[in-house]
Structure 1
Amino acid sequence: MPHSASIEISQLSKHFPAGPTRIPAADNLSITCDPGTMTAVTGPSGSGKSTLLHLIGAIEQADSGTILVDGEDITSMRRSRLEAFRRSVGFVFQRYHLLPALTALDNVLAPLIPHRVAFDKVARARELLDAVGLGGRYNALPGELSGGQQQRVAIARALVGRPRLLLADEPTGNLDSRTGETILDLLIQLRTEQGAPTMLLATHELRLADACDRIIHLTDGRIVEDTAATRVG
């Protein structure tokens, strides 16, 4: 059973150029997440939610500060080690990012294709599609699926490698309210399962945030509130 990751962020900063100035997307952030916890990152558009997830997932590089995942500083990793680290992270994006020419099953399998794993890849992919309610759509192309179904495929893909860390960036942002509720339920259910990864979710959805262990609210790249969530069923 894969373990869940611990996260310790210290004095993390990231700025982006904007004409003659530099805009802070992460401004001296310090955050600790215990293994197996679920943390919501909230805030208005441009507050730094996505940037924080991209920094933790090693998609973006920090200007300064450290990010320790299980005690290992990803801000100072060599490229080869970073590639291995990224394979231990599952990503769910707002726009799904499915490959249009691949079936649902092959989209879920895609992250595993270049790598050896200690389990049956196809069986794992089928198991996850079953779990997200798409057991009958293994051979469907993304264009034959609704937006909510595509996001379910994306969640299955994020979990196929048994990640220790799951990062979800506005996972319901492109969905209607009813479909969004289904995706929220899937993510909430995931946190109760044995061996579930540590999760950070950038979201505007209050119900999803309240289902987390804590809510970190960002404004202009700074933490303005960090509170325990009110758990909902």
Structure 2
Amino acid sequence: MERTSAATASTVTMPLVCLTRVRKSFPLPDGAPLVAVNDVSLAIAAGTAIALTGPSGSGKSTLLHLIGAIERSDGGTIEVGGQEVTGLSGRGLAAYRRRVGFVFQRFHLLPTLTALDNVIAPLIPFRTDFDKVARAHELLATVGLADRAAALPSRLSGGQQQRVAIARALINQPALLLADEPTGNLDSQTGTAIVDLLLRLRDEQGTTVIMATHDTAIAARCDRTVQLRDGCLTS
């Protein structure tokens, strides 16, 4: 299902993400394979917001993990920005993962670090050509938390923690943001605000957003909906 938006209208024809016959299975306790992603081919244009929908167990999270190179596919190819990521290993794999932003349903903030330090955390082992602290402050301002930089996660609401997680995902200025049920632990009003933020990143920064969601109202706000069932594309 496709929708017309300013983002899609201004997008070049070359897809940012291109999957070709991607497959992934996991072994069950009895040794039989559980097919999580089954022969999926998909092209996603740069600067668009895509909703991955489908019932639990349909393969949404696995597909995100494959695109983000958290999991390795069993077959097929995945290209992001013209780079094939399915065969990456070692330093190449680590470098690619740093170029992709991840936002998860469970915020995964480090409880003993402030909001600011949680945003900086992915960059601690690396040298950068920008000021990490200044960039983190800028991102917290972008997500509406400029005044909460010194707060520990325990002093933040669920929506605020998710905003910190989004800021952390953006610290490396990724062109691609993967969000796995980012509103699943939030009330509807806070969830709407988080989706507003993700779509604003698409509109203002050209970030490509791929978001797994059960919420049909959220999916309807994206540029395109991709439906999965039993690991297969149904739309």
Q: 1:191 aligns with which of 202, 205, 208?
A: 202
**Comparing 140-149 and 118-127, the one that deviates more:** 118-127
Q: Do structure 1's residue 213 and structure 2's residue 223 form an aligned pair?
A: yes
**Comparing 51-60 and 120-129, the one that deviates more:** 120-129
Q: What is the aligned partner in structure 2 of residue 102 from structure 1? A: 113
CA drift at 1:152:
0.5
Deviations, residues 156-198 of structure 1 (Å, cap 9, x unaligned) = 100111012110000000111121121121112111113x322
* CA separation of 1:20 and 1:116: change in aligned 2, threshold 3 A: closer
**Comparing 214-223 and 172-181, the one that deviates more:** 172-181
Q: 1:24 aligns with which of 29, 32, 35?
A: 35
Letter in 2 for 1:7: V
Q: Do structure 1's residue 59 and structure 2's residue 73 form an aligned pair?
A: no
Q: 1:79 aligns with which of 83, 87, 90?
A: 90
Q: What is the aligned partner in structure 2 of residue 10 from structure 1? A: 20
Identity across matched positions, percent: 58
Q: 1:132 aligns with which of 130, 143, 165?
A: 143
Contact 1:5 1:36 in 2 (8 A): no
- Name the SS for the 1:136 alignment partner: helix
Q: 2:234 aligns with which of 224, 227, 233?
A: 224
Q: Do structure 1's residue 203 and structure 2's residue 213 form an aligned pair?
A: yes
CA drift at 1:40:
0.8
**Comparing 32-41 and 51-60, the one that deviates more:** 32-41
Q: What is the aligned partner in structure 1 of residue 45 from structure 2? A: 34
CA drift at 1:5:
7.4
Q: TM-score, with normalisation over the residues of structure 1?
A: 0.91
Tell me which stretches of 4 or more aligned residues in structure 1 moved more than 3 Å: none
Letter in 2 for 1:175: L
Structural RMSD (CA): 1.4
Task: State how many pairs are aligned.
Answer: 221
Q: What is the aligned partner in structure 2 of residue 180 from structure 1? A: 191
Partner Cα distance (2:15, 2:163) in 1: 23
Deviations, residues 116-172 of structure 1 (Å, cap 9, x unaligned) = 222221111111111111111111001111111100100010011101211000000
**Comparing 4-13 and 76-85, the one that deviates more:** 4-13
- Name the SS for the 2:78 alignment partner: strand
Partner Cα distance (1:178, 1:70) in 2: 34
Contact 1:5 1:198 in 2 (8 A): no
Contact 2:198 2:209 in 1 (8 A): no
